[in-house]
Chains A and B, each alone.
Chain A
Amino acid sequence: MATTTRATPEHDGKEANPLLEGLRLRRTPEPCALVIFGASGDLTKRKLFPALYSLALRRLLPESFAILGVARSESTTEEFRSRMEEAVREFGRDRFDEEAWERLAGGINYVATDFADEGGLDAVRDCLTELDESRGTRGNRVYYLATPPNAIGILVQQIGERRGASGWTRLIVEKPFGRDLTSARELNAKISEFFVEDEVFRIDHYLGKETVQNMLALRFANGIFEPVWNRQFINHVQISVAESIGVGSRASFYEETGAIRDIFQNHLLQLVALTAMEPPIDFTADSVRNEKVKVLRSLHTPGPKSVVRGQYGPGFVEGIEVPGYRDEEGVAPDSETETYMAAKLYVDNWRWADTPFYVRTGKRLPRRETTIAIEFNRAPHPPFEEMARGGLRPNVLLVHIQPDEGVSLEIGAKVPGQGMSIQTVHMDFLYGGAFRTALPEAYERLILDAMLGDATLFTRTDEVEEQWALVDAIVATWRRDRPSFPNYAAGTSGPSSADDLVGRDGRAWRRP
């Protein structure tokens, strides 16, 4: 055993490697450098580095890999590494493993620059060139734009103008992608000057959640659901994204976005699309996104009576007194920003005609919960006495996105004992119970997918634009009148007008 032979993933490309068959290969990306713009921000600290560490711990990152943090704050690479280590220890989902961290930390670098300045990215380019040499990253780049929306345009231009001749480039863009259809189109146009669609990865982190992806497994891997997944059998759908927290430290951002841009435009509409889409012909990025965009195009613009907005006032959440939105730090005392919205949507196609999709999202609701509830039609003629079927409710298939990730089905069952009395019971599938492994964080999956060039779980230009078109139509109606805010107390389930929205149809919201 004289010399050491180093394993490399490449082969000559002329003949397929027969040794790879059946090896259950890890999805390991090619060598690359990940450049994080906005490296001093909360997202980097709370989500990106913990996710990168978890990937490193599981050896899912390429052997030749580097991370370059870029932000305005003056800092050294050593200081940046130290802060990120603290972040991983505090926010990571895994035990802290020194060896795994050292492996990751060895490739971490930091550049302080104002990327809005002309030439601000020259230092970044120079550092990346040096990393190609020292870390073997081969000119492959993933740029993660974790910056405020107003910085994205200039960054895209600066990165685009400095694209190298070798290697591939991918661009991850955080939401919100624009603030309306016009700005989204401008941003898409700017991006398309320098990048093709396959190189652009617009993040909606909800799509990286295991339970959201499970919606596709639930629908398309089980023969029992799809035959009844239509207007004939489904009475209506309720999708809720409820938060118990307030605006916290995001006031300046939230004042500009509100619930409709923060949650409805992306997460809620993506959940509607996944629930209503037709089966894709395969699980490639374009097949899945083609079907989602068809749903978004089919969404009927709701009239003013079909949309409700709200803003929380003071109240109690989990027994603690909390201020109203207008009393939060950084919020205008006469703010008209909505912290709650609900809408009745119709998907105007053959499968879903006349089946309402009630969606709602809000802050300072009683509990944090994201669910998709599919309520089926009642049994047409239960042959039981009126008293016996008092406890019988329609069947509901409930997809728990968070917390208590899983799926439950509500069915009617006979109460043990004499006579015939029927009660609704739950059949539960809990992720934590059936698969006793912690669910990966959405950002782990999404960062890895972007490195691999798999855009299935990212939103495409046309999806984003369809989503904004709907938001613009709703916002246009809101501009016609002044809302009487606040209209719900913190800790309650939203404004009474939201109850009226479903009540007019003889229905009620599920208790969040």
Chain B
Amino acid sequence: MSALAHIDDWTGGDTTVAEIDRRLGDLRRSVEQEGVPDLRTSVLTHLAWVPPEYEQAATDTLAGLAERHPSRAILLVPEPEAETDGLDAEISVRCFSLPGLEAHVCSEVIELRLRGKRAVAPASIVSPLLIADLPVFIRWRGRPDFGSGPFEQLVELVDRLVVDSGEWADLPAAYAQLASLFDRVAASDIAWSRSLEWRRQLAGLWPGIASARRLTVAGPRADALLLTGWLRSRLERELELELEERPELERLAVDGAAVETPAGSRRSASDLLSAELEQFTRDPVYEQAVLACADVQPISA
């Protein structure tokens, strides 16, 4: 396993993008420690749109990711209601030592607080900070304000939009809005990733499951809806959802028969996001599941 060797950072209030870029370059040049060279080996730019209420969760997830995905991570914390306009930045270069490697391997984290009017055009702030030619992912925390300026700008900028529809209150209605983006950006959903092992279990029930009429789920609403949409779209048949809302996927049953709980089905938030950062193309199966669950009306279990 890798171990954090050192962190070098810089903090600037009311700063500029040019200053951030310059400071980042300074940090990269100055971080060599004890004669051990540092390597910057980014494979992507990872943006995160993090409203203040998600800041802690985003930071925790990022901490679990840094050693796995060499990237430039840019956290955007919008504070449009702030009394003053401005851009505050905390940047750090985090270097890890890895077994078998003499050099440290470094990632960059840029946390930007967009105060007041600086939250209106986030793409103009982010664009100069993207690493050229590498894929750009954005993890959008919370429910996106579909159609809003910041959201539309950032969707145009990125190759992949990663959401967690489990964070959305208005399901399944919000899925219709998400579906309208499918032709513009590849979309991923952590709620969909969470159910991967359960989907494998359900796939193992073929061919008996082909005539299923009811799916019973004890778990989050988003996961249950997506599983139902998935079965509907793949099996090409109507299927009703009986839902007992729970914070995590606990039980599934098909037409009353319990599905065996998969082993190792619980993955950390970092694991789930990490898996999404390795996908580079559209996921038509997910897209069809979203389209098919938009009109599912769950009945209470």
Contact status B70-A4, CB under 8 Å: no
Interface of A is mostly: loop
Q: In the complex, A190 Cα to B251 Cα: how many Å?
A: 54
Does residue A5 face the partner (Cβ distance < 8 Å to B)? yes
Our pick among A5, A11, A405, A434 for the contact of B260 (Cβ within 8 Å) is A5
Contact status A9-B204, CB under 8 Å: yes
Q: In the complex, A9 Cα to B260 Cα: how many Å?
A: 13
Residue of A4, A18, A437 ringed by the most chain B CB atoms within 10 A: A18
Does residue B200 face the partner (Cβ distance < 8 Å to A)? yes
How many contacts A-B (CB < 8 Å)? 107
Does residue A19 face the partner (Cβ distance < 8 Å to B)? yes
Our pick among B67, B68, B257 for the contact of A2 (Cβ within 8 Å) is B257
Contact status B39-A430, CB under 8 Å: yes
B199-222 interface bits toward A, Cβ cutoff 8 Å, 1 = contact, 0 = none: 111111111110000001000000
Contact status A434-B203, CB under 8 Å: no
Does residue B254 face the partner (Cβ distance < 8 Å to A)? yes
Contact status B41-A19, CB under 8 Å: no
Contact status B41-A430, CB under 8 Å: yes
Contact status A430-B103, CB under 8 Å: yes
Q: In the complex, A430 Cα to B286 Cα: how many Å?
A: 34
Contact status A430-B101, CB under 8 Å: yes
Q: In the complex, A17 Cα to B264 Cα: how many Å?
A: 23
Q: In the complex, A429 Cα to B70 Cα: how many Å?
A: 12
Query: Within 8 Å CB of B257, what residues of A?
Result: 1-5
A442-482 interface bits toward B, Cβ cutoff 8 Å, 1 = contact, 0 = none: 00000000000000000000000000000000000000000
Q: Give chain B interface residues in 187-209, CB to chain A under 8 Å.
A: 196, 199-209
Query: Within 8 Å CB of B234, what residues of A?
Result: 18-19, 21
A19 to chain B, nearest CB (A): 4
Contact status A7-B2, CB under 8 Å: no
Q: Give chain B interface residues in 229-280, CB to chain A under 8 Å.
A: 230-231, 234-236, 251, 253-254, 256-260, 262-264
Interface residues on A, range: 35 or more
Does residue A20 face the partner (Cβ distance < 8 Å to B)? yes
Interface residues on B, range: 35 or more
Q: In the complex, A433 Cα to B216 Cα: how many Å?
A: 44
Does residue A432 face the partner (Cβ distance < 8 Å to B)? yes
Contact status A7-B260, CB under 8 Å: yes
Does residue A428 face the partner (Cβ distance < 8 Å to B)? yes
Query: Within 8 Å CB of B67, what residues of A?
Result: 436
A136 to chain B, nearest CB (A): 15
Contact status B263-A428, CB under 8 Å: no
Tell me whether A433 and B264 are in contact in the complex, defined as CB-CB below 8 angstroms, given that A12-B207, A21-B234, A438-B99 are known contacts. no
B147 to chain A, nearest CB (A): 29
Query: Within 8 Å CB of A166, what residues of B?
Result: none
Tell me whether A18 and B204 are in contact in the complex, defined as CB-CB below 8 angstroms, given that A3-B258, A23-B199, A436-B68 are known contacts. no
Contact status A433-B70, CB under 8 Å: yes
Contact status A433-B235, CB under 8 Å: no
Query: Within 8 Å CB of B235, what residues of A?
Result: 18-19
Determine the residue in chain A with the shortest Cβ distance to B65: A436
Contact status A432-B98, CB under 8 Å: yes
Tell me whether A436 and B98 are in contact in the complex, defined as CB-CB below 8 angstroms, given that A5-B259, A12-B207 are known contacts. yes
Does residue B149 face the partner (Cβ distance < 8 Å to A)? no
Q: In the complex, A205 Cα to B262 Cα: how many Å?
A: 33
Does residue A403 face the partner (Cβ distance < 8 Å to B)? yes
Contact status B209-A19, CB under 8 Å: yes
Contact status A433-B41, CB under 8 Å: yes
B82-105 interface bits toward A, Cβ cutoff 8 Å, 1 = contact, 0 = none: 000000000000001011111101
Determine the residue in chain B with the shortest Cβ distance to A5: B257
Contact status A404-B284, CB under 8 Å: no
Contact status A432-B105, CB under 8 Å: yes
Does residue B4 face the partner (Cβ distance < 8 Å to A)? no
Contact status B256-A6, CB under 8 Å: no
Query: Within 8 Å CB of A18, what residues of B?
Result: 234-236
Does residue B14 face the partner (Cβ distance < 8 Å to A)? no
Q: In the complex, A19 Cα to B45 Cα: how many Å?
A: 33
Determine the residue in chain B with the shortest Cβ distance to A406: B101
Query: Within 8 Å CB of A305, what residues of B?
Result: none
Query: Within 8 Å CB of B294, what residues of A?
Result: none
Q: In the complex, A21 Cα to B233 Cα: how many Å?
A: 11
Determine the residue in chain B with the shortest Cβ distance to A24: B196
Contact status A437-B68, CB under 8 Å: yes
Does residue B285 face the partner (Cβ distance < 8 Å to A)? yes
A392-425 interface bits toward B, Cβ cutoff 8 Å, 1 = contact, 0 = none: 0000000000011100000000000000000000
Contact status B258-A1, CB under 8 Å: yes
- Would you mind naming 21 contact pairs between A and B with Cβ atoms under 8 Å apart? A1-B253, A1-B257, A2-B256, A5-B258, A6-B260, A7-B201, A9-B204, A18-B235, A18-B236, A19-B203, A19-B234, A22-B285, A23-B285, A25-B200, A403-B100, A405-B100, A429-B41, A430-B101, A432-B98, A432-B100, A432-B105
> 8 nearest interchain CB pairs?
A7-B204, A22-B285, A19-B203, A433-B41, A1-B258, A17-B206, A433-B105, A18-B234
Residue numbers of A with Cβ under 8 A of B are 1-9, 11-12, 14-15, 17-25, 59, 403-405, 428-430, 432-434, 436-438
